[in-house]
Amino acid sequence: METGEGKDTAQGFHNPVAGFGVTFKAMFKKRLTEQYPEEKKVTAPRFHGRHQLNRHPDGLEKCVGCELCAWACPADAIYVEGADNTEEERYSPGERYGRVYQINYARCILCGLCIEACPTRALTMTNEFELADSSRANLIYTKEQLLAGLDEGMVDSPHVIYPGMDEQDYYRGLVTEAAPGTEPQVAVSKGEKPTSEEVDV
């Protein structure tokens, strides 16, 4: 029969060995460590990453400056100022466009409520997740940073609406590229702050 002292000695030997047993077992398990940033993880296709402001197939912008995305945002991370298009300076096919558009990634929680609220699918989210920065100012993305690049057949906004088409035709998919000879117009008000008369008090 084992005495109390003998039991303690056996226990004292067993405990550290048992601890190494756990280590030994873990050595043969699949490693979970990710070698980021050397190896970037591929996200799920519908991962919520950085936003993008989309264009119509001719390069005009889909955003109509309605601010619904900003109202839907629970973190108050979006700032939009809409403005009227003119024939000399047209950014979107309809009446209004988003003149100023900013997303503050110091606030954004990437929930996606804003893209659900957008009536024109102007705002979507990409899979890009590398948004960290040490400067608060750099975390405020401007319209120029968020606007999608130009695909083939697009001409940068502002430019005239496709001849013979109206805004509805764009949403019906009847415009598939910029009309031949389309030239960019002079961007006078792009991204400018409104004058004091334009700001509601």
Summarize as ranges the residues that interact with ligand SF4 (CB under 6 A).
Answer: 63-69, 72-73, 75, 77-78, 80, 98, 103, 108-114, 117-118, 120, 122-123
| 108 annotated as belonging to a binding site for a ligand | yes
Is 198 marked as binding a ligand?
no
| Gap between the Cα atoms of 175 and 63, Å rounded | 16
Closer to ligand SF4 at the Cβ: 126 or 179? 126
Q: At closest approach, how far in Å is the CB of 102 from ligand SF4?
A: 10
Query: Is 63 annotated among the ligand-binding residues?
Result: yes
| Cα 59 from Cα 56, distance rounded (Å) | 5
Minimal distance, residue 112 CB to ligand SF4, in Å:
5
Say if strands 96-104 and 140-141 run parallel, antiparallel, or are unpaired.
antiparallel
- How far apart are CB 21 and ligand SF4 at their closest, in Å? 46
- Tokens standing for residue 31: 């490693």
- Name the residue nearer to ligand SF4 (CB basis): 59 or 65: 65
Residue 152 DSSP code: T
Considering the complex, what minimum distance in angstroms separates the CB of residue 139 from ligand SF4?
12
Is 73 known as a binding-site position?
A: yes
113 is in an annotated binding site: no
**CA gap 70, 115 in Å, rounded:** 10
DSSP state of 195: P
Cα–Cα distances in angstroms (integers) from residue 175 to residues 63, 94, 111, in the given order: 16, 14, 32
Annotated binding residues: 63, 66, 69, 73, 108, 111, 114, 118
